[in-house]
Amino acid sequence: MPSPLEDQPGLLIRDPFQYSDITLVVPPPLVPLLGMLDGEQTEDEMRRVILEMTQDVRAGAIQDQLLRALDQAGFVEGESFDQLRAARHEAFAREEVREAAHAGGAYPDDAQELSAWLAHQRVKGSEEGQDGLIGIAAPHVSPEGGWDSYRQAYSALNGTMDDRVFIVLGTSHYGEPETFGLTRKSFRTPFGLSGTDTAIVDWLERKAPRAVRMEDYCHAVEHSIEFQVVFLQSLFGPAVKVVPILCGPFARSLYLGGKPEDDEGVGAFLDALGELNAREGRRLCWILGVDMAHIGRRYGDPSPAQAHQGLMLEVAERDRQRMACLSSGDPGAFWDLVQPNHDDLKWCGSSPLYSFLKAVPQARGEIRHYEQWNIDEHSVVSFGALAFR
């Protein structure tokens, strides 16, 4: 992203995987050089470009300093990056608990402050009966931008559901395509330690090993499930039982055609989820941590976007068409709207939503809320709340 530091202009670079804890700011004149680090061009070619840019005979020293800084930070492929990645993966695999990665940032890291924070936003369950409720879809956007949708989603849940096992399908922003990331670890938040139903996790791995990445490192940094666990704990207590599943993108279907389940591994996993639903029935409740469209410069679009204005009015209409397919429980019609142009709306929740519709064919949805939020002045995310019965 552009550096926010007035005295250090340039391009700020950091690692969302958290292999590296270093943040670098590359000065503006050197930013174009990053495009040369593509495995195709040579150091001699880069040195020549630096000399042409600077007319400085110390071009070699400038190049060495840039490459050394990137390498030591773990921002280029090579031994330093490999060591950082291997160390983080091994450390996560050894940990008994998945520690909160976003406490103190996206939400308070003190239990009392967190309770007060949620109470102030009036996030609470319903006092009415469940009325056949089998799941909800809630955002995974930063709560500061999505309170209305979080409130509408979680107010569908009832306090008597504390004996359910919550199957949490979250978007895997960093995961491999056609892959479902599982973990046996319990999730710790400021409220305490949730329990992961390891029997279900192990059963899913046995049923669809080709599509499963067990102890997927993405769990260590992903927010789409962590946020849902926090809200569930606030309603049902820290020991709420969950099955955390990160859904990677169905890229093969988006780019090559066909349905997601045409991939053998994906098909086996969706069948396993369906069998789980048929077997366990009302013991389960499905929680989907999903956002919808991502439009604007942050997401590679040429023009800026403003929530509920201009282009975003058309986006809202297209979002609602997709939500109508979710409400009617029609995964085929939903995917027919997602697939064209490799999903130009960039719905990052399409994989969890499709997986749920395939696994729970009897689900019918109620749209409880829809909204758009300017995540920055040039970019918009859309999301909403649905309840499934």
Query: What is the pLDDT, as a whole number, of residue 61?
Result: 87
**15-19, 260-264, 364-368: least confident range:** 15-19
As a whole number, the mean pLDDT across the chain is: 94
Do 241 and 326 fall within a single domain? Answer: yes
Residue 218 has pLDDT above 70, yes or no: yes
Helix (H) or strand (E) holding 82, with range, is helix 79-94
Do 35 and 131 fall within a single domain? Answer: no
Do 81 and 127 fall within a single domain? Answer: no
Would you say residue 375 lies in a domain?
Answer: yes
* C-beta atoms surrounding 143 within 10 Å: 20
Give the total number of structural domains in the chain.
Answer: 2
Q: Which residues of 96-127 are buried (b: 16+ CB within 10 A; e: fewer)?
A: eebebebbeebbbeeeeebeeebeeeebebbe
Would you say residue 3 lies in a domain?
Answer: no
Phi, psi dihedrals of residue 126, rounded to the nearest 5°: -80, 150
Phi, psi dihedrals of residue 385, rounded to the nearest 5°: -140, 135
Would you say residue 192 lies in a domain?
Answer: yes
Percent of the chain exceeding pLDDT 70 equals: 99
Do 207 and 223 fall within a single domain? Answer: yes
Do 195 and 74 fall within a single domain? Answer: no
Range of the domain at 196: 97-388
Residue 129 has pLDDT above 70, yes or no: no
Do 82 and 116 fall within a single domain? Answer: no
- At 128, is the pLDDT very low, low, confident or very high (cuts 50, 70, 90)? confident
- 171 CB-near residues (< 8 Å, 6+ apart): 140, 224, 246, 247, 289, 290, 291, 348, 349, 351, 352
Query: What is the pLDDT, as a whole number, of residue 184?
Result: 97
The CATH number that applies at residue 160 is 3.40.830.10
- 354 CB-near residues (< 8 Å, 6+ apart): 250, 260, 331, 334, 335, 338
Do 42 and 110 fall within a single domain? Answer: no
Percent of the chain exceeding pLDDT 90 equals: 85
Strands (E) in 139-224, as ranges, are: 165-171, 180-182, 186-189, 192-193, 195-196, 212-214
* C-beta atoms surrounding 362 within 10 Å: 11
**Contact yes or no for 152/385 (Cβ under 8 A):** yes
Would you say residue 245 lies in a domain?
Answer: yes
Would you say residue 2 lies in a domain?
Answer: no
Tens digit of each residue's pLDDT (9 = 90 or more) over 48-105 = 888 888 777 777 888 899 999 999 999 999 899 999 999 999 999 999 999 999 999 9
Do 59 and 142 fall within a single domain? Answer: no
Q: Give the global pTM.
A: 0.91
What's the token pair of residue 258?
A: 């066909």
Would you say residue 126 lies in a domain?
Answer: yes
User: Residue 50 has what DSSP assignment?
Assistant: H
Would you say residue 74 lies in a domain?
Answer: yes
Tens digit of each residue's pLDDT (9 = 90 or more) over 289-326 = 999 999 999 999 999 999 999 999 999 999 999 999 99
What is the C-alpha to C-alpha distance for residues 247 and 381, in angstroms, rounded to an integer? 19
The upper half-sphere exposure of residue 45, i.e. CA atoms within 13 Å in the direction of its Cβ, equals 10
Taking alpha carbons only, the member of 10, 19, 70, 81 closest to residue 46 is 70
Helix (H) or strand (E) holding 120, with range, is helix 111-120
Do 148 and 53 fall within a single domain? Answer: no
Query: What is the pLDDT, as a whole number, of residue 59?
Result: 79
Do 152 and 42 fall within a single domain? Answer: no
Do 323 and 299 fall within a single domain? Answer: yes
* C-beta atoms surrounding 327 within 10 Å: 18
| Torsion sign (Cα): 5, 9, 11, 15 | negative
Do 239 and 266 fall within a single domain? Answer: yes
- 43 CB-near residues (< 8 Å, 6+ apart): 63, 67
Average pLDDT over residues 183-194: 97
Would you say residue 1 lies in a domain?
Answer: no
Tens digit of each residue's pLDDT (9 = 90 or more) over 113-127 = 999 999 999 988 777
Average pLDDT over residues 193-221: 97
Query: What is the pLDDT, as a whole number, of residue 130?
Result: 66
Q: From 58, 89, 120, give the residue that closes a domain.
A: 89
Query: What is the pLDDT, as a whole number, of residue 106?
Result: 95
Tens digit of each residue's pLDDT (9 = 90 or more) over 143-168 = 999 999 999 999 999 988 999 999 99
